[in-house]
């Protein structure tokens, strides 16, 4: 850790929670999702639609992202929507589709859990559970995730500091689950031209303070399809262990977040570009 002229460790005044801290575990933690390792030399790409909508949608999207080199399929079955009148997700039918498509393509799946009462159900289908931005400080949910035996993808709260983010992860580790991946997905600032302000400085900061893998979500981080490739490349350059990106076979028809979803061709092109960046920073992408 850097020191200032008085030899005081510089982390702007908070102490890193014990279990996530590099003091407790100097080595990088590698999270294993059904054989896909996040936190090692490979930069792992998680891709798929915002929400599971149909067999056709998930099948076509999964086929293309697998061919493009993604390691994990994403897709929400329970969606946290700002409006109660928006599509809320397919629920258990969506989970079933995810598990069908997993069998078809051999891709592990990650999907969001929003409520402690859903954990058992979601864990029974998913290879990794996602705790979304809006639930980063849902402490009962964090504890429940800490008691389950599946890896957890924890997204940064849109109003959360790095300290609060690390404390949220600490809740999960404190229950005995060390398989946690942190995800920077943008924070709210005064800026309105992007959906959120993607805080890429969180990546080196988190990697310095804690031993957990850190990935970046340029889709929610920008809200703009055309900007996703630039920020994805920047995320790899800045040391992210992976990316999670929304991809849809027909973005203009998506029931959720189509404006920030890459088309299948855009995704394939981006993967080719990302491989070059990865090599330049001593990593690889499959």
Residues that bind ligand PEP (CB under 6 A): 50, 76, 80, 132-134, 155, 185, 217, 220
> Got the DSSP string for 36-60?
EEESSSBPEEEEE-SB---HHHHHH
- Nearer to ligand PEP by Cβ, of 53 and 217: the residue is 217
Comparing every residue's Cβ against ligand PEP, the nearest one is 132
The nearer residue to ligand PEP, 89 or 229, going by C-beta atoms, is: 89
Closest approach of ligand PEP to the CB of residue 141, in Å: 13
Closer by beta carbon to ligand PEP, 16 or else 227: 227
47 touching Mn ion, by CB under 5 A: no
Residue 283: closest CA among 252, 224, 237: 237
If you ran DSSP here, which 8-state letter would residue 279 be given? H
If binding is defined by CB under 5 A, does position 50 make contact with Mn ion?
yes
At closest approach, how far in Å is the CB of 284 from ligand PEP? 25
Nearest to 266 by CA among 223, 230, 222: 230
By CB under 5 A, is residue 178 in contact with Mn ion? no
Q: Give 223-276 as a DSSP string.
A: --GGGHHHHHHHHHHTT-SEEEEEB-SSGGG-SS-GGGPBPHHHHHHHHHHHHH
Instruction: Answer yes or no whether residue 257 interacts with Mn ion by CB under 5 A.
Output: yes
Residue 244 interacts with Mn ion (CB under 5 A): yes or no: no
185 binds, among ligand PEP, Mn ion, none (CB under 5 to 8 A by kind): ligand PEP
Q: Which residue matches tokens 């799946």?
A: 109
Residue 225: how many other CB atoms lie within 10 Å: 19
Nearer to ligand PEP, 155 or 233 (CB): 155
Nearer to Mn ion, 87 or 286 (CB): 87
DSSP 17: P
- CA trace torsion 263, 114, 156, 84 (10° rounding): 70
Binding residues for Mn ion, total number by CB under 5 A: 2
Query: In the complex, which residues of this chain contact Mn ion (CB under 5 A)?
Result: 50, 257
């Amino acid at each position: 850790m850097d020191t200032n002229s008085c030899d005081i460790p510089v982390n702007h005044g908070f102490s890193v929670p014990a279990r996530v801290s590099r003091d407790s575990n100097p080595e990088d933690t590698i999270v294993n999702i059904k054989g896909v390792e996040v936190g090692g030399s490979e930069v792992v790409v998680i891709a798929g639609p915002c929400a599971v909508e149909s067999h056709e949608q998930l099948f076509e999207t999964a086929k293309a992202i697998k061919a493009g080199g993604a390691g994990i399929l994403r897709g929400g079955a329970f969606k946290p929507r700002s409006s109660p009148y928006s599509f809320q997700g397919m629920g258990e039918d969506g989970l079933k589709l995810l598990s069908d498509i997993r069998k078809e393509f051999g891709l592990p799946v990650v999907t969001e859990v929003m409520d402690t009462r859903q954990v058992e159900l979601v864990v029974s289908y998913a290879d990794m559970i996602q705790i979304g931005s809006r639930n980063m400080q849902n402490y009962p949910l964090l504890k429940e995730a800490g008691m389950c035996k599946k890896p957890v993808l924890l997204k940064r709260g849109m109003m959360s500091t790095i300290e609060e983010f690390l404390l949220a992860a600490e809740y999960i580790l404190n229950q005995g689950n060390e398989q946690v991946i942190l995800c920077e997905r943008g924070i709210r600032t005064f800026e309105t031209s992007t959906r959120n302000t993607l805080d890429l400085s969180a990546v080196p900061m988190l990697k310095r303070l804690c031993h957990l893998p850190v990935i970046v979500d340029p889709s929610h981080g920008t809200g703009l399809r055309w900007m996703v490739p630039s920020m994805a490349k920047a995320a790899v350059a800045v040391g992210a262990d992976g990316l999670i990106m929304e991809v849809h076979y027909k973005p203009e028809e998506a029931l959720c977040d189509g404006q920030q979803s890459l088309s299948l061709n855009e995704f394939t092109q981006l993967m080719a570009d990302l491989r070059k960046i990865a090599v330049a920073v001593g990593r690889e992408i499959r």
